[in-house]
Structures are given as C-alpha cells and as structure tokens.
Homo-oligomer: A and B are copies of this chain.
C-alpha cells in the first residue's frame, strides 16, 4: 500500500531545504562545465524527443536528493496504483483512467462491469468507422453531399486540448496531404463566439460535435441551441449534422437528435480527455483515424517512460520534481511554457488548464490544509513572438520565472527561405538556444540598464519534428508531469471543486435571486 503524505513531512524534502543557493547558473553553465552539463543532464523521451535540464538550478547532489524524494513520496507506486485502476480521485470517488485510452500499462481494469480498456477501444473503433464513412461520402448531408468541415461545441477540457492538438497538426496534415476536413471550435457562451465561427462555416457541409460528459454543461447546450437555430434558419435538418460525445448515462446518449454518439466516462477528467472520444471524434474526422492512432501511439510510448522508477530516466517525473523544487524550495510561483513552434500556439493554453485546474488546490487529498504552496501559475506564447513581448520581464524583471522551452530541428513544412545566410528554421532554433544561455548566464555591462543578472532557470524538450507521434508524446509528458506534481503536493489533481461556486451564483443571478453586492454588480451588467 502506498502512503499519501504531505510534502513537508518527508525527510528527503527537508534535506532539500539546505540546497537552496547551491547552484548558480551563471557559473554552472559557463565554459566547459556548461557544455558538460548539457551533455549529461538529458533524458531521452519517446518519438525522438529528449528532455534537457542542464539550465535548471540542480547539480548531482540535488538530483540525488530529488531521487530520494521520488522514492519516499512513492511516485512510481502511486502511478502504478493509478493505472491499475485505484480510486485516486478521492473527492469524487473515481478511478483515473485516461491512460487506458492509449494503452495498457498495468493489469486489466474492470469498472461498472466492463473492461475499461476494451470500452475505450470500442469507442475508438466506432469513431474510426464513422469517420471513414464520412470521408468516403457514405455518410453525407441531406442532399447526399460530402461534409468538409467539422465544428466542436465544447468548453474547457472539451475545447482546449482538442483545439491545441488540431492547430498543432493542421499544417502538418496539409503538408502530408491528410487533412480530410477543416475543424473549427465554438466554446464561449458569449454569443459573439458562435456568430463569429458560423460566419466562416458553410453550414450545409458541416458536422457539429456537441461535447459534454454530463450532457448538462450550460455553455455547451446553449451553443448547441444556437447552432441548431442557425441550421434551421438555413433549412437544414440538425439531426443530420450533429454528433454527440458524452457519457452513456447522459441525456445526450441514445438520443435521436444526433447522427451518432460516442462515449466517454467519469474516469476521465475533462482536462485529460484529449485522448478520449472528446479529442478522438474531431481529430479523426479532421485528419483521419490513422493519424489519430499515431497520436495515441506517441502518448502511450511516453506513458511507458513515465512508469520508469528512476527519475533520471523518467522525464515526466524529473520535470515534476524539479518544478516542485522551484516552487517550494526556491519559491518561484509562476512558470512560462515557451514552444518555439507556431503550430503549438494554443498548447500553453491547454497546459495552463491541465496544470492549474489539476494542482491549484489549498487542501490535500484528505481535505486538510497544508503549509506549503501547490499549483503554479502557468502561461506562455510561442517563440520567437514572446521574445518581442514579455521576455523583457523574464530577463530583467525583479521576479524569477522558470521557463520550459520546446523546440524542433525541422519545421512541419519543407518550405523555407534563406535570409542573411540562414533559413527561418535555423533562426528559430538559434534563438531558443540563445535564450537559454542568455537566461542562465546573463551578461554584465557598465550600463546597469543593459545588465542581465542571469541565473534564471530553463529546461527544453527537443524533437526532430512536430508529428502526430511526437505531439502525442509531448502531451503525455505534461499530463504525467502534472500528475506527479500532484502526488508530491499530496493534492487530488483530478477534481475541480473550485469551479462550482461561480456556477451556483450565476444561476442565482439569472433567477434574480440575489441581493447585496451581487445584485448591484448584476444590475450594472444589465441583468
């Protein structure tokens, strides 16, 4: 049995307290020593990726202590419990099974009387068969014409992950001639969102996927109604244009209003649902089921690495350990995620949810308050864009923000241009390498405004190219990282009680059941 203990009760955590200040990156990363660190402090990942932590404020001694922490916190055993189907999500009394959508790390997991791996596989097969019929023109609109656009209607986990991955692979799919349908996304209850998206969609040739696990998400049902009105106005039969992704017990299941329904379940949280039917339906329709299967292969391969016991061979675990070291020993409250890949433009927004919703908790998994900080603020934008924006603060601001870079040696497309003796891709890669050294080593100058203190930590994941496989591995890396962070902080990373109060109060506003400041604000907003 594993023991769930608060971080600050662990001996190995206490041993880390004394290491603060042991590594100054301006020294550690200088000269041959720096080159040696780059060589040594790296872990291979799946699908040609690798994780590099040379520019983090660690040394052999700290790494050894972090490995002790991993052991004492039983990170590996906890992950084993999770993938073998234990009820890890205590508050909601649920298993946590998103890994099963892409592989089987442990034993067979039975729940609700079914083999859950088989259940998820069956939904994948249903979706694949459906998508192939759509692509082949066997499932068509009322006039027998092929659909060419697919629109996801969902919010939060039903939006951010699938959207980020669609954008990550859209241009790859075009370059590889496998973009079957264009995908669009409607999420916000702001009516300007559906108006804007529908303005660019040819309704007669569009499929809409309504995604809500409970079948009761108010924003999503509202946008579904919005779209149904638009279809009716265009003289189209909504039931020929709409799919459902939901749980089998929801009002959206077994409902003749939908052309088809694909199922998820309560064992997969929204923010971990990209590999479930939530991401599967739209991505298989957009790219083809084979591409989605390759994406899942990448996830499964990285999941396997996450099951490795030694953190120095487990990039997810080490990334989590270092981030907790930065959060709790070094005291940095924010992390920036900076992919040097325009295709990953919305990847930070998805990981922002996955991280902050998972670990932004003030009580431990047993409901007890803790004496240490948990989940960090995560934000980011693609480089090189960010360099011309908020990097000023990252380099010279009064607070230190640890950085997570991502870079690929090749672009998704072969097209490039040479200016001043280098291609765009070379410039992109040169910039991310340069930034890591600029942050770590800094630079003195007689003009204090031009001084860079350095000693600002960063890591990087490097890959050959952003493909379905490497994209899957990348996503699995972060999903597992956030899980390990949650294990270390001893929080339940799989509930989200903090989103409830706002919903309750919003309903009261709409029912005009308010007083005091809430009524006053509502009136100012015209309600």
Contact = CB atoms under 8 A, between A and B. Distances in A.
Interface in A423-465: 423-438, 440-443, 447-453, 460, 462
Nearest to A155: B388
Contacts of A430: 506-507, 509-510, 522, 525, 527
Interface string A64-93: 000000000000000000000000000100
Give the 4 A-B CB pairs with smallest separation, nearest first: A360-B393, A156-B388, A34-B517, A434-B505
Nearest to A224: B419
Interface stretch (A243-251, A258-266, A407-415): A407-415
A190 interface: yes
A522 B397 contact: no
Interface stretch (A97-105, A272-280, A281-289, A365-373): A365-373
Given A443-B501, A518-B437, A357 B270 contact: no
Interface string A157-172: 1011000000000110
Given A156-B385, A415-B195, A497 B434 contact: no
A285 to B, nearest CB: 20
Interface stretch (A12-20, A313-321, A337-345, A473-481): A337-345
A90 to B, nearest CB: 9
A163 to B, nearest CB: 10
Contacts of A199: 171, 174
B407 A525 contact: yes
Q: Which of A357, A401, A450, A525 is packed against the most chain B CB atoms within 10 Å?
A: A525
Given A382-B190, A390-B352, A516-B32, A521 B409 contact: no
Nearest to A34: B517
Nearest to A401: B377
Contacts of A341: 190, 192
A226 interface: yes
Contacts of A223: 424
Interface string A44-66: 00000010101100000000000
A357 B389 contact: yes
B367 A447 contact: yes
Q: Which of A341, A416, A422, A520 is packed against the most chain B CB atoms within 10 Å?
A: A520
A374 interface: yes
Contact of A360 (B218, B222, B359, B397): B397
Interface stretch (A35-43, A121-129, A140-148): A35-43
A367 B509 contact: no
A196 interface: yes
A297 interface: no
A432 B505 CA distance: 10
A235 interface: no
A467 to B, nearest CB: 13
A393 B171 CA distance: 33
A433 B516 CA distance: 12
Given A361-B397, A525-B429, A497 B189 contact: no
A113 interface: no
Contact of A188 (B271, B382, B506): B382
A11 interface: no
A130 interface: no
